[in-house]
Amino acid sequence: METHPFPLRLHVQLGERSYPIIIGSEVLEGASEHLRALQPSQVVLITHPQLAEWYGEPLRQRMEQTGIPTYLLTIPPGERTKRWEVAGRLLRQMAQLTLDRRCIVAALGGGVIGDLGGFVAACYLRGVRYVQIPTTLLAQVDSSVGGKTGVNLPEGKNLVGAFHQPVLVLIDIDTLKTLPRRHFRAGLAEVLKYGIIADETLWRLVNAEAHNLRQGDSAHLAEIIYRCCEIKANIVSEDETEQGVRATLNFGHTVAHALEAVAGYGRLLHGEAVSIGMVCAALVGELTGVTPVGTAEEIARALRALGLPVALPRGVEFDDLLAVMARDKKARDGQVRFVLIERIGQARLPIAVNEKEVRHALGMHREKFLWGAM
């Protein structure tokens, strides 16, 4: 894999809505300059209390030095925060601050903050600009790029939302030093996903670096994040609203989203659910003859080496999973759809899979990989 000088820069190419992704060390120190260059009337930083103390307040102070009024709004951490009522509260706070159409929302945090902050930006005054400043590995390699914003409903993940692209993504890999190990590993599931769906070289690099990555670091980390963002930027540039190739990014997500909803939001981390879901999807692929037999085992081995779960959580009923899958955004006419892989490095567009095959795959999953703790 090529090496790149720091900081690394990529572009999501979407005509007048194109935007840069800047990746490197100490990127947060320069964030106020990047924000100032966008000439906002005001800036509102949305984050969690702990992140506000470490990263948000210093950034707010640097913004104030540029003369741009900057406010910090905090919400509690956790997937359960990504809901309608919290978005409503944030919108009211923004209105009370009399933020105008030229304001910028800066989402400083993981995927929860990014999805919620982006959603609030999409709704406020019918849409204002926002900047993603992702601080988890998952958000740095996936959720901060591409403009999918939204909230969960009790009925399912991300059922309410909007496509609303950020105007800038600032990725400071130093922030990962404070990220708890479990969350870092959860992000590795999405990293491996890119290798599985689009890039065998990345798959090999992640496997070779598994020991270091599992411990939360690797000399190749910036390069790995860059490559993931590059794959995502290319896919989003080609298919912004998921009419085709973008759907391949959902590999493992049919089961993952159902697991998250059935287990209760927050019990399984999103990346952990994706880890289990990718093994299920590989089994569905093997059963339908799309994926070479043995691939699920190979993927499970790689995920375990990264410290990720692969077994279905104990107590989760197949009937409940299937009911949620039928309501998933990817479902059509009540038929569950799966992204399958033809081999490591090559995904296929989603296909409908009948309930019998899904049950069969879930049964095989339980037999091969047993039940996991939750």
368 is catalytic: no
Rounded distance between C-alpha atoms, residue 221 and residue 204, angstroms: 14
Name which of ligand NAD, ligand GLY, none residue 40 binds, using a CB cut-off of 5 to 8 Å depending on partner kind. Answer: none
CB atoms within 10 A of CB 39: 9
Q: What is the DSSP string of 199-256?
A: -HHHHHHHHHTHHHHHTT--TTHHHHHHHHHHHHHHHHHH-TT-SSGGGGGGTTHHHH
Q: Cβ of residue 356: shortest distance to ligand NAD, in angstroms?
A: 29
Q: How many residues bind ligand GLY (CB under 6 A)?
A: 6
* Residue 189 interacts with ligand GLY (CB under 6 A): yes or no: no
Q: Which residue do the tokens 């989203």 mark? A: 257
| Partner that binds at residue 136, options ligand GLY, ligand NAD, none, CB closer than 5 to 8 Å by kind | ligand NAD
Q: How far is the CB of 363 from ligand GLY (least distance, A)?
A: 28
> Rounded to 5, what percent of the chain is helix, strand, coil?
50, 20, 30
Residue 230 designated active-site? no
- Per partner kind, with CB cut-offs from 5 to 8 A, the member of ligand NAD, ligand GLY, none near residue 246 is ligand GLY
Selected binder of ligand GLY within 79, 115, 142, 223 (CB under 6 A): 142
Q: How far is the CB of 261 from ligand GLY (least distance, A)?
A: 17
CB count within 10 Å of CB 58 equals 15
CB 135 within 8 A of CB 56: no
Give φ, ψ of 133 to 5 degrees: -125, 80
Residue 82 is among the residues annotated as catalytic for this protein: no
Q: Could you give the string, one character per residue 245-264, with x where binding to ligand GLY holds by CB under 6 A and - elsewhere?
A: -x--xx--------------
From the candidates 60, 82, 129, 148, which is the catalytic residue?
148
Residue 337 found at the interface with ligand GLY (CB under 6 A): no
CB-CB contact of 130 with 156 (8 Å): no
In angstroms, give the least distance from the CB of 328 to ligand GLY: 13
Point out the residues that are catalytic. 126, 148, 190, 232, 242, 246, 250, 253, 257, 270
Residue ranges that bind ligand GLY, judged by CB under 6 A: 142, 146, 148, 246, 249-250
